[in-house]
Structure 1
């Protein structure tokens, strides 16, 4: 536990960053333009820099003409060479860390390079800024009189040749300074435990007698932990365990489905929720005002941003615009160039600007169909491949289908609810469900992690639809015809509920 004087000193130190943030708020486009030229100059002698004529790039227009938009498949060969020990391929400093995450590619996982610069000036810097912005808005905070309970993903680090890979949270934990253990829980030793059940128990053992003042983590996983804390302690709500809890920093999935459950768990009128927007590829935005649903786009983390209006989206063949040309109320696909060696990288997220002075955003979805209520990042390719495998083994044929979430309620796990209209139904729906679930786990490592011991995701729930259900549903909506398609994956229950009712 820290004393009030320590709380004051740490708060003062973090608030000094407010003046630097003010600089990019005042000159956002200048900061971004200068950053781009600095990134190009830094990497001009790398293999990628030489191949794409970095030495002759003088401005943003040159950059768009010489450097193509990239998807993971485009850069995977370079990343694999780097993982095997080659350096100076796409970034000049030595890269030994790779953040492993499921992507929208055919591969089960993708490996995102994490340079020392990305670690220090993006991910670590953002962690401090998250606290800085919170403190700036809450002068009376007592955040540092207690500890932050941080719940990361899988924390196992794997060595491959001379490189290391694992969840981004594990890489950050591995690189935290020694003093970080004093201000957060669980200890680094527990945070890096590989087996989730054992780790969960260890976290509870370490934290129930601590003075926890903040929570940090993905809503679905955090909900599992908090419910277990109540089971262990026999308390009615989390404030009976940690009375000084004042804020939850969350990100990774849409928080709206969880909001009411958190209000029941933490019944405190002035309790704060602060959202962040980050990924393995970088840290992008932070909520900068109490009670806001908008996020401030952070412009000095070594990330240069470009945008594709979704009305003109054509993947790698799209025409991009810089920050200076964006408008509010338009959905844009996000393109990033980073100090980790990603160049014009199509991350797959879509965002919308809610303000241009300063630049604030909301996350609106993905460039592809997906379902990501629990951090499972299940996309249409994953689903189609899994259905194909299940159908081949059961000799089933599918006419139409849709998938929606089953939100967590009380202490029950969430899940996916499927409505499938079969041309030829499987003889055993139970066996079909098992095959589908196992196929999804083998294809998508994030889905597999959330299905672990049914903690976040339970077994899929499948309804066999009557013949013509989807046709009748489209007819009822006046949407019969070739241009109207069944929504396959959704982050809301709207379509599932309508179809069940019909």
Structure 2
């Protein structure tokens, strides 16, 4: 183990030098990534169709290929799943990450090539620890194990040629044997499909391990950690794993859960590190413990473009390269990758907070918003407003979802919020008022629609019963791992399902 740690530390040192290079020369690195991708894929069906060999500039790349969503790629992905080769990326693609998404129920199957496994996903995981150790040189994180709580879908066969499952399952299937020295639980337990069974097995396997780090989605980890305390009778997690020092999290906004984690892990020395990764790629990492902005990782085999959200619904909206972006604006992210996704609209929105180096915040989804009345409310607005409302009313939120109340004969428009509180507000009316006022402050379109209650009424709030969201996700077959509760929707589908379930509970 000491010898292995020495090798890891040497690799980390070398990698930090490479990260510093793309910090200093971001545009050169991104241009090199694009032309490496085009060169690698020039003899594929896609490369021949768009004549990748003749593309000489980033502007020509934009002209030649249009921006696409998953549905546009689906026919090619179906062919890949049946074993065809050299379609979007050279060679055969055996792995497909199943992604249910957050705004519709249709499963997506994202191709994961050998190159994207190694150069995007595994490199991203390694870089998390490289950056963490750079910021915490005295860390003992490598002296113990990382407790991982992944997805709930095993790898399954499409055919004899290809397999699908949660990205976390695919990573486990392809992880080198020596990673078992640093990870718990075992692969067999990590791949159990039934979430509640998996949690019980994780507890059995991991209680006696020296767990020094956690990695996963904050909402599902709360379930696990509370069950650990119930099982052991301990009052906090540090009594179970005293060497625990960092929680590497992603998938959902962490702020709504921060206070709960402080209670579960009551230590000022506990570190929290955010990542931005998805089935399509590993995009950004929090590289500064004092600042929760995320460093955009530019040398992973991902070429980035950004559509200004103010133009998103225009015909042929502009897609900007890094040197064209402006700080503080919302952008929809477009990626081209060594997994064979070309100018792919991933569905996430970000804003840049810095350009030396390039840092971002995740602000929401292109499809997860409320815009029933022209208010263009995004998840970032909602999270910030809820943070202020909970602070003012001494409350904590466990889960929430919101959507529109549509206008009727005697009904003005409104936003309806279903909130499951970990700790209820001292004053519910004040909570709603602060939420409303904060949204006005954060979003001028919302403020305009709320003016004198002409279009939008004050928010409507339904207090959810304990366990409502968990039961709802369970009934939808979306418990665990990479499944996320939809925060905002532009229709009432989720709201009506939750209200109906609450009546039956």
Same fold, judged at TM 0.5 (above): yes
Task: Give 1:101-500 correspondences, 5 Å limit.
Answer: 101-103=99-101, 108-161=106-159, 162-314=161-313, 317-370=316-369, 402-404=415-417, 406-407=419-420, 409=422, 448-450=477-479
Matched with 2:374 is none
Contact 2:212–2:241 (CA under 8 A) maintained in structure 1 = yes
Q: How many pairs does the alignment contain? A: 420
User: Judging changes above 3 Å, is the alpha-carbon distance between structure 1 residues 321 and 375 closer, same or farther for their aligned structure 2 residues?
Assistant: farther
- Gaps of at least 5 residues in structure 1 are 388-397, 411-432, 461-485, 497-502
User: Judging changes above 3 Å, is the alpha-carbon distance between structure 1 residues 201 and 290 closer, same or farther for their aligned structure 2 residues?
Assistant: same
Contact 1:368–1:379 (CA under 8 A) maintained in structure 2 = no
Contact 2:111–2:340 (CA under 8 A) maintained in structure 1 = yes
Return the offset for 1:177.
0.3
Return the offset for 1:22.
1.1
Matched with 2:71 is 73
Distance in 2 separating the partners of 1:446 and 1:151: 20
Return the offset for 1:11.
3.1
Distance in 1 separating the partners of 2:6 and 2:185: 23
* TM-score, structure 1 as length reference: 0.76
User: Judging changes above 3 Å, is the alpha-carbon distance between structure 1 residues 25 and 94 closer, same or farther for their aligned structure 2 residues?
Assistant: same
Contact 2:332–2:349 (CA under 8 A) maintained in structure 1 = yes
User: Judging changes above 3 Å, is the alpha-carbon distance between structure 1 residues 241 and 451 closer, same or farther for their aligned structure 2 residues?
Assistant: closer
Distance in 2 separating the partners of 1:77 and 1:379: 34
Query: SS where residue 56 of structure 2 aligns?
Result: coil
* TM-score, structure 2 as length reference: 0.76
Query: SS where residue 21 of structure 2 aligns?
Result: helix
Query: SS where residue 96 of structure 2 aligns?
Result: strand
The Cα RMSD (Å) is 3.5
Contact 1:155–1:194 (CA under 8 A) maintained in structure 2 = yes
Return the offset for 1:106.
6.0
Return the offset for 1:144.
1.0
Distance in 2 separating the partners of 1:63 and 1:288: 31
Task: Give 1:52-91 correspondences, 5 Å limit.
Answer: 52-91=50-89
- Gaps of at least 5 residues in structure 2 are 370-377, 384-396, 424-464, 500-505
Return the offset for 1:399.
8.8
User: Judging changes above 3 Å, is the alpha-carbon distance between structure 1 residues 171 and 177 closer, same or farther for their aligned structure 2 residues?
Assistant: same
**1:192-219 C-alpha deviation (Å, 9 max, x unpaired):** 2222222111100111111100000000
Distance in 2 separating the partners of 1:259 and 1:166: 30
Return the offset for 1:448.
3.0
Matched with 2:13 is 15
**1:197-245 C-alpha deviation (Å, 9 max, x unpaired):** 2211110011111110000000011110000000000000000000110
Query: SS where residue 336 of structure 2 aligns?
Result: strand
Contact 1:376–1:447 (CA under 8 A) maintained in structure 2 = no
Query: SS where residue 450 of structure 1 aligns?
Result: coil
Distance in 1 separating the partners of 2:328 and 2:75: 37
User: Judging changes above 3 Å, is the alpha-carbon distance between structure 1 residues 185 and 135 closer, same or farther for their aligned structure 2 residues?
Assistant: same
